């Protein structure tokens, strides 16, 4: 079981990035996929979560209206489109997979984790 996050980088405030999460080793549409981030000195927080069929999507308040999560189960990919980026969005972003219905922002709900991808937003 493997998740691979990519797409991070350095961007100016107001810019956009799209993160990708490639999943392998399991049937993607059996799992809820979450996006988390961890800024220096802070705890890892749930940013977004998308249910198996994309019927339910969660966003933390701080990214609502700016971030969009989507998934392509046929291609075993999950995406996090990030627009209007702010310096406060600077963090290492992780994708994770959990075998449960619906969505969740709790780290403990997710069994499998990918390595992170660094997003740096300059002011």
Question: What are the pLDDT digits (tens) for 22-65?
Answer: 999 988 889 999 999 999 999 999 999 999 998 999 999 999 99
pLDDT (0 to 100) of residue 91: 98
Give backbone dihedrals phi and psi of 120, rounded to 5 degrees, phi first. -125, 125
* Confidence band, pLDDT 50/70/90 cuts, at residue 121: very high
pLDDT (0 to 100) of residue 49: 98
Q: Is 12 helix (H, G, I), strand (E, B) or coil?
A: strand
pLDDT (0 to 100) of residue 26: 85
pLDDT (0 to 100) of residue 98: 96
Residue from 82, 74, 120, 80 nearest 96 by CA: 80
Residue from 21, 28, 19 nearest 3 by CA: 21
Element counts in the chain: helices (H) and strands (E)? 0, 11
* Confidence band, pLDDT 50/70/90 cuts, at residue 16: very high
């Amino acid at each position: 079981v493997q998740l691979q996050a990519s797409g991070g980088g350095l961007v100016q405030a107001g810019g956009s990035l799209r993160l990708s999460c490639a999943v392998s080793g399991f049937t993607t549409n059996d799992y809820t996929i979450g996006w988390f981030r961890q800024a220096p000195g802070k705890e890892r927080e749930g940013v977004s979560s998308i249910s198996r069929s994309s019927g339910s999507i969660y966003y933390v308040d701080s990214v609502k209206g700016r971030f969009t999560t989507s998934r392509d189960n046929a291609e075993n990919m999950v995406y996090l489109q990030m627009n209007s980026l702010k310096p406060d969005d600077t963090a290492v972003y992780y994708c994770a997979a959990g075998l449960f219905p619906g969505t969740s922002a709790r780290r403990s709900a997710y069994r499998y984790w990918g390595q992170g991808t660094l997003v740096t937003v300059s002011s």
